[in-house]
Amino acid sequence: MGFWELLLLAIGVSMDAFAVSVCKGLSTKKASVSNMAKCGVWFGGFQALMPLIGFFLGSLFAEQIVAVDHWVAFVLLALIGANMLKEAFSKEEECDCDKNADFSIKTMFTMAVATSIDALAIGISLAMAGNVNIWTAILLIGITTGLLSALGVKIGSIFGDKFEKKAQIAGGVILIILGLKILLEHLGVL
């Protein structure tokens, strides 16, 4: 994967954290630099850590499944993308403001883990995709998620929950397209 594909992947995987950050901004009504930084560091840090863990886990068994690794990468990315789309279209209640107003360590840790579980599977799919510089990938994922999360708090405080569903839809579509690209490249179609 080249730089632009990794950047698209970083944007796609960061959309859950962005959506949560928009809710956090909505709940605070006024985005402080401190709260923006908390979201950026927590979400960006975990979104970078989880793919790294997933990559090393995926690398452990990559040799055993090399014949179908492109299918594994495609299925993981497609499932994560489809799940993001499902969540975007099935939400009845956008944000629970009481829960999202809390920026404590316990709450931020829980939310950072919850929004980065998909990133663990992304790391596994990166190991299966091959030809990926994991350090560039996690750096882009971490920085992109950090910046978008901080921006999400600000956007949420200004515009409310208008962007949450759109962010999840965009993220889901990006991940499905990247998974399809990996599959088609390995099949020789692209």
Query: In the predicted model, what is the mean pLDDT of the chain?
Result: 82
Q: Give percent above pLDDT 70 in the chain.
A: 88
Which one has a higher pLDDT value, 142 or 21? 142
What is the pLDDT, as a whole number, of residue 143? 97
Q: How many CB atoms lie within 10 A of CB 98?
A: 8
| pLDDT above 90 (res 16) | no
108 within 8 A of 42, measured Cβ to Cβ: yes
Domain boundaries, the chain: 3-186
What secondary structure does DSSP assign to 133-168, as a single string? -HHHHHHHHHHHHHHHHHHHHHHHHHHGGGGHHHHH
What is the pLDDT, as a whole number, of residue 96? 53
The token duo for 159 is: 């515009």
What is the pLDDT, as a whole number, of residue 160? 60
pLDDT tens digits for 105-152?
888 888 888 888 888 888 888 888 778 899 999 999 999 999 999 999
Question: At residue 127, what is the residue type?
Answer: A
What is the pLDDT, as a whole number, of residue 91? 61
What number is the average pLDDT over the span 41-60? 92
| pLDDT above 90 (res 24) | no
The token duo for 36 is: 């923006």
Question: At residue 30, what is the residue type?
Answer: K
